[in-house]
Amino acid sequence: MSDRVDTLRDRCKKLVFPPHRCELMKTVISSLESTAESLLKLTGAALKFSIALGSACVIIYALRVGHFPQGLTLADGLLFMLAASCFGVVYAMFVGCLVSLGIVFSIVIRPTFNFVLKRIQAKTNSKKELAYEMALFHWAAIPFALVAMVLIWVFGQRDIAAYWNLPLLSIALYIFYSVAKSAGTQYRRHERLLNSVIVTPEKDELQISGKAGKQKNAYLVSITVVMLMPLAIGGVSGLLMDGAMRMAQVRIEHAAVYMKAPYSALMPDALVAKEAKVPEGYKAYAGVTVQFKGFGNTTVIAFKDGGLQRQLDVPNDQIIVESKTGE
């Protein structure tokens, strides 16, 4: 009796889940698991890379303002990580927007590139195909491209070279993004073939040629170039650092400061805030830029004194900083 019940149960299972459907479901689930695992690894790597890059840029910013904090504590270390993360987020958004602008430009770049390539192949009688494909236009890139155009306009107000430098940079980033995307797609396809248990001539040829490793290297190099190129040749790395430091409240512009003697005697009288309510023992000054605050035991301020730009390091217990958000 029990054997009949088991047989009937097996038949029902086969009717509800035929073997080919079960195999299809296993393949889909395996593909989803592989994609999710790849995304998690990519996200983790991007987070580590952004924090590492942000940490390096915080140090570069400190050297740029001519100050390296002293007397650091554990709390300062946490603030350092926050500032590094802020720069990582700002920089990632900046790179993403420039790449999106390049993707929008692909409407013109791809036909132009294909036309030039065909003319070259016709003259040289070459039918060799390119190893990588140019990325296709995607509507999702338009909002980020609009943000990139706004950023170009903002940066161009401070440096006119940004009006042509950043659009050309977005085209270069698009080319390397296309290489990374194409190489990544080919590498994943080759990896699936190499991991399969079925032995085929294509698998043997792939193992001998080492194409999977070459595609992986091309992908990693292209991604690295995309991440570092704007910082190296973008011409706006200083503005990005300032923006990230403002986000982390390390840098405060248009601030009011209250200082004790003898440091208050070093400030110009033109910056004295006469209408401000001043705590006892302090003197108020307005129009000051706080360049470095929160790390170590000193605060770095900068201000104009006639035709000069002066910088002053003040111990934290001798200064109170008030940000002016309404100005």
Confidence of residue 258 (pLDDT cuts 50, 70, 90): very high
Q: What is the pLDDT of residue 15?
A: 47
Which position has the higher pLDDT, 25 or 204? 204
Q: What is the pLDDT of residue 71?
A: 73
Is 249 a residue whose pLDDT tops 90? no
pLDDT digits (tens, 9 = 90+) for 189-200: 877 777 776 777
Is 10 a residue whose pLDDT tops 60? no
Scanning the chain, the segments in alpha helix (DSSP H) are 2-16, 19-64, 74-124, 141-158, 162-195, 201-209, 211-233, 237-247
SS3 249: coil
Task: Copy the structure tokens of residue 34.
Answer: 């592989």
Q: What is the pLDDT of residue 277?
A: 84
Q: What is the pLDDT of residue 327?
A: 45
Is 72 a residue whose pLDDT tops 90? no
Is 16 a residue whose pLDDT tops 50? no
The C-alpha atoms of residue 266 and residue 289 are separated, in whole angstroms, by 15
Is 3 a residue whose pLDDT tops 60? no
DSSP class of 131: S
SS3 301: strand
Other residues' Cβ atoms within 10 Å of the Cβ of residue 67: 18
What's the chain's average pLDDT?
80
What is the pLDDT averaged over residues 161-170?
90
Confidence of residue 92 (pLDDT cuts 50, 70, 90): confident
The C-alpha atoms of residue 302 and residue 292 are separated, in whole angstroms, by 10
Q: What is the pLDDT of residue 184?
A: 84
Task: Copy the structure tokens of residue 27.
Answer: 């393949």
pTM, rounded to two decimals = 0.71
Which position has the higher pLDDT, 80 or 298? 298
What is the pLDDT averaged over residues 144-163?
90
Q: Cα dist. 7→15, 27, 98, 285 in Å?
A: 12, 27, 62, 90
pLDDT digits (tens, 9 = 90+) for 312-323: 999 988 998 887
Q: What is the pLDDT of residue 148?
A: 94
Is 54 a residue whose pLDDT tops 70? yes
pLDDT digits (tens, 9 = 90+) for 283-306: 999 889 998 888 788 899 999 888
Is 326 a residue whose pLDDT tops 60? no
Closest CA to 168 of 109, 125, 243: 109
Is 17 a residue whose pLDDT tops 50? no
The C-alpha atoms of residue 299 and residue 316 are separated, in whole angstroms, by 6
What is the pLDDT averaged over residues 69-76?
73
